[in-house]
Amino acid sequence: PVVAQMIEAAITPLGGEFLDLTGIYRDAEGQMFTDYAHLTPAANQILAEHLGERVKARLAGPPAAPPQG
């Protein structure tokens, strides 16, 4: 979480949006990685669906304000 917070803090003022993808495979069944860094086809499908939803939401309108706190 610390690294994600640092990245988000660095890019937000520049107009960027950080997508924390650490939990997208939490409920997935089967192997998600072929080695320490490369995804299986099933994991790539999950990633594509997740990113596709975010892109569609972004194209539909302005992003929601970040939570306060």
Q: What is the pLDDT of residues 7-48, one digit of tens each?
A: 999 999 998 889 888 899 999 999 999 999 999 999 999 999
pLDDT band at 56 (very low <50, low <70, confident <90, very high): very high
- Contact predicate 10/56, CB 8 Å: no
Distance separating alpha carbons of residues 47 and 39, to the nearest angstrom: 9
What the block records as the tokens of 57 is 């939401």
pLDDT grade for 68, boundaries at 50, 70 and 90: confident
- Where does the pLDDT of residue 63 fall: very low under 50, low under 70, confident under 90, or very high at 90 and above? low
Q: Does the pLDDT value for residue 61 go beyond 90?
A: no
